[in-house]
Structure 1
Amino acid sequence: MYPIKFKPHYVEKVWGGRNLSSIGKDLPKGNIGESWEISCRKDVDSIISNGKYKGKTLGFLLSERGKAIVGNEIEPQNFPLLIKFLDAQKELSIQVHPDDEYGKKEGDLGKTEAWIVLEANKEANMVLGVKDCTKKVFYKGIQENNLEPYLNRIPIKKGDVFFIKSGLIHTMEGAVVAEIQQNSDLTYRVYDFNRGRELHIDKAMDVIDFSLKGKKASGLTAKEEGYEKTYYCYNDKFSIEKYEIKDMLKEKSDEERFYVYMCIEGSGKIIYEGGEENISKGETILIPASLGEYEFKGDLTLIKTYVPNIEKLEKEILKEVNYL
């Protein structure tokens, strides 16, 4: 196998714009809100853009090579992640996502996600959870079109990372972000600024967890020869790590799981047995579980995500803590 790249799938949104061009995207016409980087769903099945399987879909590749791609601990027929870039030029709807139990009733997974801020204007902000209200008060705010007093709205800037657990009410405006999420497309809107789209108030009220408080991830940074690595957040759905590479990073694939790297700054090469691939800002690449040893060379910043073995990852982090 080899590192796999995909054609972006662009989605026009009422809140989108043209800012994904700032991360190197060649946008079609329209207000583009999303670039789906890696998806394996009935509605969007990513098309491979390099190597032997160029022109084939990720779904086809998983049916052909299965565990060689996703690893021994992940079921090929249930690809677990959905990877995107978002341009929230205008504010998203005020929204919430269900957990797995509720999502299954809707025929999908739940949706826990994370946002990594890549660009932000001076007024950029997010809503992460509620404040000073109960479920009853919040519902009254929806009915009276007066939610703002009950929203935990915070300013954001480039480099911020936020973990958004299912059940957390949220929105965003004025930013370009990398989005890592469960492979789900369930979103329940409680307010959409009178833009004419469907609302899902009853379902949203079912799933909002009023005890959740979102906050910026601080991260734990370890300095290594040639690069720095920051651990941001992890759970059983995904882990997020940032690599700031100034020279070289050597890694090895894991037979139990695949890795995904999103390049958010700079450019370089990924070298593996049998070849190499260029990677630059705005590109995403999948490392198959069976790839073996590989290395990144260049001056670039990468976001790495994968479905972790929690025990194994925590031991790795503890080693870094003791080393620091």
Structure 2
Amino acid sequence: MTVKPYPLQFQPEMKERIWGGRALEGFGLTLPEGSIGEGWMIGDHPNGTTKVMNGELAGTGLDVIRETYGREWFGSQGFSEKNGRFPLLIKLLDCNDDLSIQVHPTDEYEGLPQGELGKTEMWYILDAKPGAKIIYGLKDGIDRAAMEAAISEGRIMDTLQEVSVEAGDAFYIPAGTVHALCSGVVVAEIQQNSDTTYRLYDYDRPGLDGQLRELHIEDSLNVIAYEGAGAQRMKTDGAAPSEWLTIATSPYFIVEKGIVEAPWQLATSAQSFVILVIAEGQGSLKWAEGELAVKAGECFLLPATLGSYELSGSMTVLRSVVPSS
């Protein structure tokens, strides 16, 4: 069966986390019971594979779409032979409590689980309570020996930088950057398709099973970029209507912010699929074969072969593509 390309919307996979809450209901998402910390909006991973919920391919997993249409629909840069998965993972995060102090490895780390990639990511702050903050990198002068000493002496928090955040802030978090989201923020996360996290510290709190969660001290010490990995942050309120503002650039993704106030004519390219995350507001997504009403909290995968499309309404949109290698 030949299916014409169209914007794909997926049924999110919801993940209970000890630090989660119910804030994702504010986007009209249906949550299972419990403390829901992560909504995997577009995923092709053993720990979460999302299924299409609209159009001809409704009910089809992203893994099957990749196998059937990937070379054509994902673009010349978006189809990877490396581990046979879609290259990105798109999440919405509700941080009702502090996340663990953590770090992610690079693709080259020898300790990676079989089949896994490293994890470079970026955050866009969708909502933040007054006084909200994150952990973002190390204080100056912290090397491996200083970090080891701080861990053994129970003062790891003294080695970390705290940054105040508000809605609209963007953070680029290359692998090797020590980080943690803290309570009171809701975040859109665009990341490499990986689920490998090394925990340095978890506040000595029990997990969902009542047991202390595993720490990964040796792996963490091995992968931390003590001299910095190139982490960058920016305010994005300079975004202008019908213009893309680049808010994160990495070898794995380019993320841009756009403000939609009037009909905006756009197009995909043969190089990469496009992922659209509706960060605020509502409007419509129109292409040659149809139109979808869209609103905050929704995410769409546009095949590289879709061609021309139009955004209209009143909304803030994040656009992600895979860059040239």
> What letter corresponds to residue 191 of structure 2 in structure 1?
Q
How many Å separate the matches in 1 of 2:65 and 2:249?
Answer: 27
User: For 1:95, which of 75, 79, 102 is the aligned residue?
Assistant: 102
Match of 2:176 in 1: 167
Q: How does 1:178-193 map to 2 (within 5 A)?
A: 178-193=188-203
Q: CA deviation at 1:215?
A: 4.1
Distance 2:272 2:232 in 1: 28
Match of 1:299 among 314, 317, 320: 314
Separation in structure 2 between the aligned mates of residue 229 and residue 210 of structure 1, nearest angstrom: 33
Residue equivalent to 2:90: 83
Secondary structure (helix, strand or coil) at the match of 2:131 reads strand
1:210 aligns with 2:226: yes
- Give 1:137 shift: 1.5
Query: What's the offset of the Cα at 1:219?
Result: 5.6
Question: How much does 1:21 deviate?
Answer: 1.9
- The letter for the 1-side match of 2:109 is Y
**Would the alpha carbon gap of residues 264 and 106 (structure 1) be closer, same or farther in structure 2, given more than 3 Å must change?**
same
Matching residue of 1:106: 113
In 1, the alpha carbon distance for the partners of 2:125 and 2:91 equals 12
Name the amino acid aligned to 1:216.
R
State the shift of 1:62 in Å.
1.5
User: Match of 1:12, as an amino acid?
Assistant: E
Show CA shifts across 1:235-265 (max 9, x none): 2110010011011111111112101000011
Give the match for residue 314 of structure 1: none
Separation in structure 2 between the aligned mates of residue 238 and residue 217 of structure 1, nearest angstrom: 17
Structure 2 residue corresponding to 1:247, chosen from 262, 281, 289:
262
The Cα of 1:220 is off from its aligned counterpart by 9.7
Aligned residue among 58, 61, 64 for 1:54? 58
**1:242, 1:301 within 8 Å by CA — same for their partners in 2?**
yes
Q: How far off its partner does 1:229 sit?
A: 2.4
Q: Matches of residues 1-324 of structure 1 in structure 2 within 5 Å?
A: 1-75=5-79, 77-102=84-109, 105-107=112-114, 108-132=116-140, 133-173=142-182, 174-195=184-205, 196-212=212-228, 214-218=231-235, 223=240, 227-309=242-324
Aligned length: 308
Contiguous gaps of at least 5 residues in structure 2: 206-211
Q: Which residue of 2 aligns with 1:318?
A: none
Q: TM-score under structure 1 normalisation?
A: 0.91
Which residue identity does 1:217 align to in structure 2? M
Shift of residue 135, structure 1, vs aligned partner:
1.5
* 2:208 aligned partner: none
- Equivalent residues of 1:74, 1:256 under 8 A apart: yes
Superposed displacement of residue 297, structure 1: 1.3
1:13-49 per-position Cα deviation (integer Å, ceiling 9, x unaligned): 0011111122332222111000000011122111000
Deviation, 1:67, is: 1.9
Percent identity at matched positions? 36
Structure 1, unpaired ranges of 5+? 311-324
Q: Is the 8 A contact 1:117 1:161 kept in 2?
A: yes
Partner SS state of residue 52, structure 2: coil
Larger mean Cα displacement after TM superposition, 87-96 or 144-153: 144-153
Structure 1 contact 241–303 (Cα < 8 Å) conserved: yes
> Which amino acid in structure 2 is aligned with residue 187 of structure 1?
T
Say if 2:77 and 2:323, in contact at 8 Å, map to a contact too: no
Per-residue deviation at 1:267? 0.8
Aligned AA (1:101): E
> In 2, distance between residues paired with 1:154 and 1:45?
33
Deviation, structure 1 residue 186? 0.6
CA contact (8 A) 2:168 2:236 kept: no
Is the CA contact (8 Å cut-off) linking 2:283 and 2:314 kept in structure 1? yes
Distance (Å, rounded) in 2 between the aligned partners of 1:278 and 1:201: 47
Query: Are the counterparts in 1 of residues 105 and 112 from structure 2 also a CA contact under 8 Å?
Result: no
What CA distance in whole angstroms lies between the structure 2 residues aligned with 1:42 and 1:215? 30
- Could you tell me whether the CA contact under 8 Å between 1:67 and 1:289 is conserved in 2? no
Alpha-carbon distance in 2 for matches of 1:293, 1:230: 20
- Using the TM superposition, give the Cα deviation of residue 218 of structure 1 relative to its aligned residue in structure 2, in angstroms: 4.5
